[in-house]
Structure 1
Amino acid sequence: MADPIDLAVPAERWLWRKDTLLEPTVLQSFAFDEVHRHLYALQITRTGHAAGDLCLNRLDYQGKRLGAMYLRGFGHGVSIGVQNEPDGTVWIWTEADARNGYGQGVTRFHFAAGAVRTGADVAIRHPIAASANNQPTVCMASRRIAVRYRASGVPRYRIWDLDAFVARDYSDPVADFPQTGAHPDAAAPFQGYALHGDALYQIAGSAYDARTNPPAGHGDTYLSRLDVRTGALAQRSRTEAGYSLTFREPEGVAVRRLPVPWLCLGLASEGEGARRFSVYVKKGTA
């Protein structure tokens, strides 16, 4: 199983202040298709918060947009997963079946530039009975899928073998544990997660605010790592990556596996209606 990435190593700039996402809103989450060297990024549309309308962008590794599609009534875009198959097929996993702007189930589909999808166009899964706010991500290193969900209002994670999940066998999850340790301040906004081997990475923090989170303090963004075998907090580290950005809100975390693992954190910047995004990386070892 993949070694964990040390959250204390310095972050390096990878993509900087890109304005290539189709919508003028912030980046919500992102994930890699490493076979075809694509980066998929989700946004909520300008008017889509209440309905859960998302825009899915496909970018190259330089941040150039190669296409985009719309997902009407899917959710908030808290996380995203990419599933690669040996024949070259690529499946995108997102939340779906939005209520009050958040997906109550999950689905997978193929990217199609220019397309518009609704819940009627996809097969929606509800793998966790009596749960709310389902948000998936995929680890191709372990061929597992995780779903963040709420049970009685409390956020938790459940992890399955990906092939079993695809076959709709949800009876034997690999792990199930509560979300913990994302930020020293329990009220800080949760901003995304990613699964890689036996590590589950989280990002939390808020945008700059002159009173509560002034730029002079370089932000309140934290990265954390949970051990999926125990659910325990293994490491947490504050990051000042991209502190010179205006607005600077943490938005999404992802793992790029090759050639060496990178933990990638997304940062939104600039003013409302003209948002940009940056990605910083913390590099692991081969």
Structure 2
Amino acid sequence: MDTPALRWLWKKGPLKEPTVLQSFAFDEVNHHLYVLQVRRGGGEAGNLCLNKLDLQGKRLGHMYLQGFGHGVSMGVQNAADGTVWIWTETAAVGGYGRGVTRFRFSHGAVRTTEDVKVRKPITGSTNNQPSICMASRRIAVRHRVGGKPRYRVWDLDAFVARDYSKPLVDIAQPAHHPDATIPFQGYALHGDHIYQLAGTAYDDTDNPPAEHGNAYLSCVDIHTGKLVQRQRTEAGHSLEYREPEGVAIRRTPEPRLCMGLASGAAGDRRFSIYYKPLTQ
């Protein structure tokens, strides 16, 4: 992650809702980008909007997910029969999901938790947030137990079959990076590593634009639970507002760690995506 970030998409949008992006994921087979937003005024209820875009950032469709969560992370599963499954949190309480689910994209549709099969793989947990790695065919679920964030990773086929009894990994999220005042903004599973994003939007007091932001990328080894690397990034520092939002892996044409940045005025938010080539 030491290499400079490169610009891919710049000030794209608007998305369907006037809010910032929360997370995104790639459909590598069909060359689509999916982006989650919290609906305007829907944060406490957990109401989300899922946008479908092409890889140039043009919006192709949307659907609404009522009572699903905050959209901290998401995943795309390409099944052997060609079905594209979207994975998100669901069953929101206080704006965050108590479970996860998968569903097919359907333009213009409105889904509630009654329309999907809710999975609760970690009994008593809160803030469930999935990520899919199609390279290793695994699923991770970030969650909280007793208020503390943790990760569990399963074989994807076992998870789809609702066998949660043998997670491959069960680790605590490493300590805040770099400190507790900078909020977590998303993660993505890739092979034996979890990539995390933290940061806040610009403000004149604590995060002034002149200092180019407080966005941090970090990498966790899922087998040891240790923080492998942490790197501050100034990618997109000239953006107005500049709030880090969402991280994802794009595997083609070569593995890339992609990070989202929200920008623009309230009510007219745009998004940019930067990337770093991955060597591990």
TM superposition score category, shorter chain reference: over 0.9
Q: Distance in 2 between matches of 1:232 and 1:258?
A: 27
CA shift, 1:258, in A, is: 1.1
Structure 2 gaps of 5+ residues are none
CA shift, 1:284, in A, is: 2.5
Describe how 1:73-112 pairs up with structure 2 within 5 A. 73-112=67-106
The one-letter code matched in structure 1 to 2:255 is P
Whether the 8 Å contact between 1:193 and 1:203 is mirrored in structure 2 is yes
1:247 matched residue in structure 2: 241
Q: Which range moved further: 246-255 or 183-192?
A: 183-192
**Partner SS state of residue 55, structure 1:** strand
The one-letter code matched in structure 2 to 1:80 is M
The one-letter code matched in structure 2 to 1:257 is R
1:148 matched residue in structure 2: 142
Structure 1 gaps of 5+ residues are 1-6
The one-letter code matched in structure 2 to 1:78 is V
> Is 1:269 matched with 2:279?
no
2:112 matched residue in structure 1: 118
CA offsets 1:116-170 (integer angstroms, 9 cap, x no match) = 0000100001000111110001000000000000000000000000000000000
Runs ≥4 residues deviating over 6 A: none
Q: Distance in 1 between matches of 2:193 and 2:45?
A: 32
CA shift, 1:201, in A, is: 0.1
Whether the 8 Å contact between 1:138 and 1:144 is mirrored in structure 2 is yes
Q: Distance in 2 between matches of 1:153 and 1:87?
A: 39
Q: Distance in 1 between matches of 2:7 and 2:192?
A: 26
CA shift, 1:47, in A, is: 1.2
1:47 matched residue in structure 2: 41
1:130 matched residue in structure 2: 124
The one-letter code matched in structure 1 to 2:228 is A
2:30 matched residue in structure 1: 36
Q: Distance in 2 between matches of 1:200 and 1:182?
A: 14
The one-letter code matched in structure 2 to 1:282 is K
**Partner SS state of residue 120, structure 2:** coil
1:200 matched residue in structure 2: 194
Q: CA RMSD in A?
A: 1.0
2:153 matched residue in structure 1: 159
For these two proteins, the number of residue pairs brought into alignment is 280
Q: Distance in 1 between matches of 2:148 and 2:79?
A: 34
1:56 matched residue in structure 2: 50
CA shift, 1:285, in A, is: 4.8
Q: TM-score, normalised by structure 2?
A: 0.98
Whether the 8 Å contact between 2:14 and 2:268 is mirrored in structure 1 is no
1:69 to 57, 63, 66: 63
Describe how 1:166-177 pairs up with structure 2 within 5 A. 166-177=160-171
Whether the 8 Å contact between 2:13 and 2:58 is mirrored in structure 1 is no
CA offsets 1:49-86 (integer angstroms, 9 cap, x no match) = 01000000000000000100000000000000100012
